Amino acid sequence: MSSIKLVELAEMIGATLQGDPDAEIVGCATLEDAGPGDLSFLNNPRYTDQLATTKAEAVVVSPDDAKRANGCSVLIADNPYFAFRQAMVKLHGFRPQPAVGISPQAYIDETAIVGELCTVRPFAYVAPGARLGDRVILYPGCYIGKKAVIGNDTTLHPGVCVYDRSVIGDRVTVHANTVIGEDGLGYATAQRDGDDEVRHHKIPQAGNAVVGNDVEIGANCSIDRAALGSTVIGDGTKLSDNVVIGHGVKLGRFNMIVAHVGIAGSTTTGDFVTMGGQVGLAGHLKIGSHVTIAADAKVMTDIPDGETWGGTPATPLSDAKRVVLSQKRVPAMASQIKALERRIAELEQRL
C-alpha cells in the first residue's frame, strides 16, 4: 500500500491540517486500533475519550473536537465522516473486480444482448431476451431471467437471481444470494366449486420489480415483483442484509434500510427515509419524506413528513419513550397496588 503525506491528504479531502505536514499516512483504522502511520476519525461523541489515548498519526475531527486531540495531528472538517470516507477511497480503494471477459463456463442465450466490456464468470446464466448494459459484472452463479434488463456499470455478486422482466438501473451493486422479482404473496382465499374447504388461490404476479440507479442491496434480500405495475426501489437507496420488500412497495430516493427490515405490500415511502434494524411496516401505508423509524419499531399507520417514530405499535418517538419509561415503573406500581389492596382490606374489616 502506498503512502501519502498528510498535507496532501488534507488538501485532497478538503480538511484543514493542524500538525505535522510531512507525516506519512499508510492506512486507516479506528481510534482504538490505530497506530503510527494510521488515519482515524471521530464522528460519534461516545468515542470522544479515545482522542486522548489513540496512537493514530492523525485524526479527522470536527472544529469543536479539534481542541480535544492529545498529541496527534488533526484534519479539521465540517463533516468528519464524509472526509474520512474520501481518505478511505484514496488509501484503500474499493474491492478489485475480476478481469473483463466472458467465461466459457457461463451460458448466454443467443438472443440476449450483452454490452461492451462485460464480465460474466463461470456458471452465470443469461436467459433469452435479457439485456446487459456496458461494463456489467456477473459473478459465478448469477441468474438473469427472460427479458430482464441490467444497467451500465452494475455488479451482481455470487448467487444473485434476477427474475424475468425485472429492471436494474446503472451503477447498482447487489450482494450475494439476493433475489429480485420473485412472486409476491398474492392469494385470494375462497372456496371454489368442488373444493371441500376454503383454500388460498394464487394470483398471477403480472408486474415486475424495478431497481433505480446508484442503489446498493445487501446479501440475502428479497424484492417481490408486483401483481400489477412495479415494485420500485428509488435511486440512491441502500438496503442492508436480509431485507424483505413486499409486492407493489415503492421506496423513494435515498432511503437507508438497515438489516432485517420487512415492508409489506403496497406501502410507499418518500425520499431520505431511514429505518433501523428489524423495523416492520404493515401494508398499504404511506411514509413521508425525511422520516426516521427507530430499530424494532412496528408501524401500523401512516407517518407524516419529517417525523421520528419508534416502539410497538410505533408512535412519535417522544411518546414511545414515555411508554418505555412507564413500563419500567410497572413492577414498583404493582407492589404499590398490592400494598393498597392490603390496606383497603384492613380498613374494610374495621367497618
* Three-state SS at 286: strand
Whether 184 is in a domain gets the answer yes
Of the residues 91, 121, 137, the one at which a domain ends:
91
Whether 144 is in a domain gets the answer yes
Judge contact between 203 and 221, C-beta under 8 A: no
For 272-292, what is each residue's pLDDT tens digit? 999 999 999 999 999 999 999
Residues 134 and 278 in one domain: yes
The CATH number of the domain holding residue 236 is 2.160.10.10
Residues 52 and 122 in one domain: no
Whether 59 is in a domain gets the answer yes
Whether 96 is in a domain gets the answer no
pLDDT band at 1 (very low <50, low <70, confident <90, very high): low
Residues 265 and 298 in one domain: yes
Residues 199 and 55 in one domain: no
The percent of residues above 90 in pLDDT, for the chain, comes to: 80
Whether 85 is in a domain gets the answer yes
Of the residues 69, 91, 113, the one at which a domain ends:
91
Mean local confidence (pLDDT), 308-319: 92
Residues 331 and 246 in one domain: no
Q: Which amino acid is at 17?
A: L
Residues 18 and 165 in one domain: no
Residues 65 and 165 in one domain: no
Query: How many domains would you assign to the chain?
Result: 3
Task: Give Rg (Cα) of the chain.
Answer: 27
Residues 212 and 341 in one domain: no
DSSP code for 128: T
Residues 109 and 51 in one domain: no
Whether 117 is in a domain gets the answer yes
Whether 331 is in a domain gets the answer yes
* Three-state SS at 318: helix
Residues 72 and 114 in one domain: no
Q: How far apart are CA 88 and CA 43, in angstroms?
A: 15
Whether 58 is in a domain gets the answer yes
Q: How far apart are CA 74 and CA 52, in angstroms?
A: 12
Residues 182 and 244 in one domain: yes
> Which strand (E) or helix (H) includes residue 281?
strand 280-281
Mean local confidence (pLDDT), 135-145: 97
Rounded alpha-carbon distances, angstroms, from residue 49 to 5, 53, 56, 65, 308: 27, 7, 14, 11, 29
pLDDT at position 263: 98
> For the ranges 1-10, 117-126, 241-250, 286-295, which has the lowest average pLDDT?
1-10
Judge contact between 206 and 224, C-beta under 8 A: no
Q: What is the pTM of this model?
A: 0.88
Residues 168 and 136 in one domain: yes
Strand partners, 74: 18, 59
Domain that holds residue 58: 4-91
For 211-259, what is each residue's pLDDT tens digit? 999 999 999 999 999 999 999 999 999 999 999 999 999 999 999 999 9
DSSP code for 226: P
The set of catalytic residues is 247
Q: Are strands 131-132 and 149-150 parallel, antiparallel or unpaired?
A: parallel
Of the residues 44, 68, 91, the one at which a domain ends:
91
With a CB cutoff of 8 Å and minimum separation 6, the contacts of 329 are: none
Exposure letters 40-54 (e unless 16+ CB within 10 A, then b): bbbeeeeeeebbeeb
Q: Compute the half-sphere exposure of residue 245: CA atoms within 13 Å on the CB side of its CA.
A: 39
| Closest by CA position to 23, among listed 61, 72, 70 | 72
H runs (alpha helix) in 92-190: none
Q: Are strands 16-18 and 73-76 parallel, antiparallel or unpaired?
A: antiparallel
The CATH number of the domain holding residue 41 is 3.40.1390.10
Angle, alpha carbons 261-264-265 (nearest 5°) = 140
